[in-house]
Chain A
Amino acid sequence: MTHISATVDGVHRQGEVEPRTLLVHWLRESLGQVGTTVGCDTSNCGACTVLVDGRSVKSCSVLAVQIDGKSVTTIQGLAEGEDWHPVQRAFKECHGLQCGYCTPGMVMASVDLLSENPNPTEAEIREGLEGNLCRCTGYHNIVKAVQTAAAEMGATT
């Protein structure tokens, strides 16, 4: 077992993990942060996307031991109290989802995209989200949600 400690959604967490424990399993099974979903399990679909030190990673393809000392943000750490993150609100308002399974990863990838490029073109949004698959929406409303969030975040900063 290996000792790790990390900040997860603003809370200091630590524990003993088997080195083979995947980050997504540590989050879900040890910490109970089940907002992050496991989709394809082969690093294709992006459903498990979280931020590590502010940048998106696929938590099914990162070992828990690799985030020792780092800061992890999951979909559950985005809202401030009752106030949803603008990207969360935009996905709801634009109906950027149908079944919702890809949504936690899609939102986190969008947050990462907008942190780097606050005013992306449609092509840049599609390119930026290429690592996240949605089998329901055809992406149309997802792109619209990111554009809506970008406009709102631009207006408030």
Chain B
Amino acid sequence: MIPASFDYVKASTVDEAVAALVKGGEDAKVLGGGQSLLPVLRLRLNAPSVLIDVSEVGEMRALTDDGDALLIGASVTTYEVMHSELVKEHAGLLSLTAGAVADPAIRHKGTFGGSVAHADPAGDLPTVAAALDCEMVIAGPNGRRTVAAKDFFVDYFTTALAADEVLVAVRVPKLGAGWSYNYQKFNRTAQAWAIVGVAAAVKSENGTITEARVALTNMGATPIRATGVEAALAGASSSDAIAAAASKAADGTSPTSDLHADSEYRKHLAAVLTRRAVEAASGI
């Protein structure tokens, strides 16, 4: 299908994008790569009055080393994130997971920031943002603010972004030495969304896990940190200990049932994939 008519504004700065959002009101939408938005428009699930294209805003295209973190502009593509040497070195979990998103053609066009702002609970990259305690740099008519991942994802396809705000960049804290990571994505067909996904990063010393981050994809309305697993993994040094910790993955979650999987099966998958992700990350 063809999208309903809309006006098109190509922003060249963040200020221009914000001004266009303010002018456009609630019916304005930000266009990054369009790989989530265009299917929505073509299916006429949404019909914005104006699209504000931020794909070539210089500041939003930058990927820079910011000391203890990487600053990844919201319009940096998934493909660029996947192949960036900086990301590989300091946020390997993000680089690895970017390669699990959709397919090559979609990764070439889709953006990291777009995926985060779209906040599809089945999206892979929001889970990494949660696992790595990323911070979202947001610009609006009253200036800029920074929102932690745990406060950014609010509900299904809903974030802390107001209608007149744009996500400028994601601040990705560097993992530092001693960390290893893995992402497990369960789906039935190539390029499909995750039925369940698990991102794990663990810090190990002499074969014992000292610290762990585990986040779940598609186990609720937002990415979920499996805090029970994280706590139980501290001190784990055997596959039995990892399995015991992973069995807590679905604690406190109430995942949806749909044609791909019912809620109970998702809970089962969360535990299995958490075990696999932690084992692969830790080498234990």
Contact = CB atoms under 8 A, between A and B. Distances in A.
Given A25-B2, A56-B105, A128-B104, A43 B8 contact: no
A131 B103 contact: yes
Nearest to A48: B105
B177 interface: no
Instruction: Say what secondary structure dominates the interface of chain A.
Output: mixed
Interface residues of B, number: 30
Contact of B104 (A41, A60, A131): A131
Contacts of B43: 42
B108 A57 contact: yes
Contacts of A121: none
A88 interface: no
A55 to B, nearest CB: 4
B7 A19 contact: yes
A102 interface: no
Given A55-B108, A130-B103, A130-B191, A20 B79 contact: no
Nearest to B190: A130
Interface of B: 1-8, 10, 31, 34-35, 38-39, 41-43, 51, 53, 55, 79, 102-106, 108-109, 190-191
Interface of A: 2, 18-20, 22, 25, 41-44, 46, 49, 52, 55-58, 60-63, 65-66, 68, 109, 112-113, 128, 130-132
**Shortest beta-carbon contacts, A-B, top 8:** A131-B103, A19-B8, A130-B190, A56-B105, A55-B108, A20-B3, A61-B38, A130-B103
